[in-house]
Structure 1
């Protein structure tokens, strides 16, 4: 993986999301996102934290959450959303678009995963479309499928994923699932919202999980 190219993609996607968010209406910020229990406002707050959270803040947050990483992440996002308006958070997203600092434990590609999947978490419930460029989407999918953090290696064991909008496929097994890259990424990261756009014998297997 070319680190410089990945950082360029991260910056581009952060700025693209900031531009997308400029058009949201006030009621839309309170809409539930694809992240269970998080509003659109809170997802944006979380996205701005990826280049701001340090090691000690993470350790304290995990201890406060009694070792529950998801609880810690949710608490940080809600606390930040309570402190800053959407307009302020959009400005922060733009200001830190080129930041290379990563959350503790995150690899080079993880900030790209973060910004691209959370962009869909925001856009889909609003009935809006946020384009997912092909090359970064493929890099993100490949990373998610390899990483143990996202759980895709267990969730999609025995399933072959095939994109219908790019020359990409991954996995092996009797059950194939076909669909757009964006929907495959949603499913790979455990979001059921991507299932409706998928076809193939593996869809039933994934749906039953």
Structure 2
């Protein structure tokens, strides 16, 4: 029997977004809890960031006005460098157990950092969980519809400033192979939604998962991945 119903929309509503954020936080906390001290010190997919640095950054997804004012007093010349400095300061100040506990404590909360939305919170937890898991050889599931929702936001973002990788993917038609989602115009590039989100976020490690007439040309726009 042929199913003629239209495909289910890829984009999640706010309630669904927070459900995914909660699930990602729980599973990431479980992953982190089992890491050795050596694994906490391993490089992540974020250049110059360790697994510990990225995990500490994920505890800082609920910054209010007072927190942001305190952060600006340690301004490092750009938003990215200031965020990195804040994450490293926190990573150095607390134990691994406290980092895990802080991530778990956010489960069920719908607070997000002042100046961003629930969608940036979703992007952060989806992408940074992979920044931690992939270099460690760990599998961390990313729901396709959540990845599609995040990718839609990444490609349309104006604030916070979009990742430079969004310019690299411009001029290609990105099409998910695991949910009803596509974006852009140009040569076709196909792949799992998680891989498309990672590439749109500058994670070149996901490029080998992409196929289609435009895949080679898209890969050529990125520098070769550094060894992990």
CA apart distance, 1:63: 5.2
Query: Is 2:80 aligned against 1:70?
Result: yes
Who is 2:217 aligned against? 205
Asked if the contact 1:30/1:40 (under 8 Å) is kept, the reply is yes
Q: TM-score, normalised by structure 2?
A: 0.84
Cα-to-partner distance string for 1:74-103 (whole Å, 9 max, x where unaligned):
111101111112211111111112222211
Pairwise CA distance, 1:71: 0.5
CA distance in 2, matches of 1:20, 1:147: 30
Partners of 2:75 and 2:204 in 1: CA distance: 26
Q: Report the count of equivalent residues.
A: 207
CA contact (8 A) 1:62 1:68 kept: no
More RCO (CA 8 Å, sep 6+): 2
Instruction: Say what the alpha-carbon RMSD is for the aligned residues.
Output: 1.8
Partner of 1:182: 194
Q: How far did 1:123 drift?
A: 0.6
Q: What is aligned with 1:165?
A: 178
> Which residue number in structure 1 is paired with residue 207 of structure 2?
195
Runs of 4+ in 1 over 4 A off after TM superposition: none
Q: Judge conservation of contact 2:61–2:113 (CA < 8 Å) in 1.
A: yes
Q: Structure 1: which 5+ runs fail to align?
A: none
> Which structure 2 residues correspond to residues 1-209 of structure 1 after superposition, within 5 A?
2-51=13-62, 53-62=63-72, 64-148=74-158, 149-151=161-163, 153-173=166-186, 175-209=187-221
Kindly indicate whether the alpha-carbon contact (under 8 Å) linking 1:14 and 1:115 is maintained by their aligned counterparts in 2.
yes
**Structure 2 residues not aligned, in runs of 5+:** 1-11, 222-228
Larger radius of gyration: 2
Q: Aligned with 1:109: secondary structure?
A: helix
Q: Which is richer in helix?
A: 1
